[in-house]
Amino acid sequence: MCVRVLLVEDDERIQQALSLALSDEGFTVDEAGSGEDALRRLETESFDVLLVDLTLPGVDGLEVVRTLRSRGDLPIIVVTARADARDMIAGLEAGADDYVTKPLMASVLAARIRALLRRRGPGRDAVRIGDLEIRPQEGLVRRAGERVHLTRTEFRLLLELAGAGGRIVTREQLLQKVWGYDYFGDTRLLDVHIRRLRRKIEANPDDPSLLLTVRGSGYRIGS
């Protein structure tokens, strides 16, 4: 199956070079030069992954991410030009699944995309944690009977933690299993996702009872 990638990038040369290199990696790449263009195309066509530069003229990358998140759970990787952590965190808070910084290499990007699209592990049985019900096969989560919309990445993160059955899962393990990072460094990626997940599944995100932080090592599911 061919993976369709929409690349939103205003620098034409980068667009071309990345398209060529990603095609070499086996992806079908479509290009959009602006946020408006991207949003228009996403309304009519379907893609597997969105790759969006955060600094775009007009409707900027953050806006694109926010709009798309409100529409569904299309995997999004943001490309941050600034090394500044704020951009990256803003992108993740807006709903992106992962981020890369320039200069980005197509091979790295390809690994990220594959990790994001990796199929869920063999169907597990439904898990119950407190008033939370996770059905891995159907890919849905219910809280007190009501459906909670999680992105694919949030779902995988929750599943990894639930699968450990209350044992501690280290940050490194989570980064590797969910994002395919074999070289960990940036745990802020994880921190933001944990925050996002808590907002969706915790009764009080500031005082979590399901998704607990274990200082100095990682996270675990509370019973």
Partner 1 sequence: MRLTLRCRVTLSFGFGLLVVTSVLAFATWNLASGYMLRQREASATRQAEVNVRLVEKSLSSPGLDELLTGLTTGPDSSILVLSPDGHVTAGRKVEPSQLPAGLVEHPPARERIAVDGLPMLAVALPVAGNAVYIELFPLQQLNRTFGFLSAVLIAGTIGSALLGAALGSWASKRALKPLAELNSAAGRIAGGDLRARLPDQDDPDLAALAAKFNSTAHALEQRALRDARFASDVSHELRSPLTTMVNAGAVLRRRREHLPGTAGTALELLTSEVDRFARMVVDLLEISRADQTDDPPPEEIALDALVRNVIATRAPVPLELEPAVVLGDRRRLDRVLTNLLDNAERHAGGAVLVSVRARGAKVRLEVEDAGPGVPEQLREVIFERFARGVMAGSRGDDTGSGLGLALVREHVHRLGGRVWVEDRSPRGSRFVVEMVLRSSDG
3-state secondary structure of 154: helix
Smallest distance from partner 1 to CB 75, Å: 21
Distance CA 223, CA 218 (A): 16
DSSP collapsed to 3 states, 46-115: CCCEEEEECCCCCCCHHHHHHHHHHHCCCCEEEEECCCCHHHHHHHHHHCCCEEEECCCCHHHHHHHHHH
Pick the closer one to partner 1 by CB: 69 or 171. Answer: 171
Place of tokens 């990603």: 22
Nearer to partner 1, 131 or 182 (CB): 182
Minimum distance between the CB of residue 110 and partner 1, rounded to whole angstroms? 10
- Closest distance of CB 73 from partner 1, Å: 28
Minimal distance, residue 194 CB to partner 1, in Å: 14
Nearest to 77 by CA among 2, 187, 151: 151
Helix (H/G/I), strand (E/B), else coil: 167? coil
- C-beta neighbour count of 26 within 10 angstroms: 10
**Chain positions contacting partner 1, by CB under 8 A:** 11, 13-14, 16-18, 20-21, 24, 81-83, 85, 102-107, 170-172, 182-188, 215-217
Closest CB to partner 1 among 86 and 119?
A: 86
Which has the closest alpha carbon to 182: 192, 191, 172, 190?
172
Minimum gap (Å) between residue 169 Cβ and partner 1:
13
For 210, half-sphere exposure in the C-beta direction (CA atoms, 13 angstrom radius) is: 23
* Nearer to partner 1 among residue 105 and residue 126 (C-beta): 105
* Whether 211 contacts 164, CB under 8 Å: no
* Shortest reach from residue 206's CB to partner 1, in Å: 17
Distance from chain centroid for Cα 130: 25
Shortest gap between Cβ of 191 and partner 1 (angstroms)? 8
